[in-house]
């Protein structure tokens, strides 16, 4: 019978509100990273993975009910390009 693997994953620690605000403030005012401000804000406020954010389309957003439907992600496959 196979052995059970020990759980050696490290606990993930979320940013504090102060850390989140400091990060957003830095990104918003930085000459290089300011172009990513909206993306980082969406990631922080929704909990989306980067691939889920990249895979979003306008059809995934219900503006009337303020809902975002996450049912796919954008993946990169070597040699073939991007997959939805």
What per-residue confidence (pLDDT) applies to 79?
Answer: 67
pLDDT tens-digit readout, 41-64:
999 999 999 989 988 999 999 999
pLDDT tens-digit readout, 57-83:
999 999 999 999 998 777 776 666 655
Residue 35 has pLDDT above 70, yes or no: yes
First-to-final CA distance of the chain: 38
What per-residue confidence (pLDDT) applies to 32?
Answer: 98
Q: According to the 3-state scheme, what is the secondary structure of the chain?
A: CCCCCCCCCCCCCCCCHHHHHHHHHHHHHCCCHHHHHHHHHHHHHHCCCHHHHHCCCHHHEECCCCEECCCCCCEEECCCEEEC
The pTM score is: 0.72
What per-residue confidence (pLDDT) applies to 74?
Answer: 75
Domain ranges of the chain: 16-47, 50-84
Tell me the mean pLDDT in the region 18-47: 97
| Tokens (6 digits) for 54 | 């990249």
């Amino acid at each position: 019978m196979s052995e059970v693997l020990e759980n050696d994953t490290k606990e993930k620690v979320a940013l504090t509100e102060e850390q989140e605000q400091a990060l957003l403030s830095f990104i918003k005012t930085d000459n290089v990273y300011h172009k990513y401000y909206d993306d980082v804000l969406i990631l922080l406020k929704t909990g989306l993975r980067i691939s889920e954010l990249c895979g979003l389309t306008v059809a995934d957003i219900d503006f009337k009910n303020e809902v975002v439907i996450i049912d796919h992600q954008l993946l990169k496959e070597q040699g073939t390009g991007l997959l939805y």
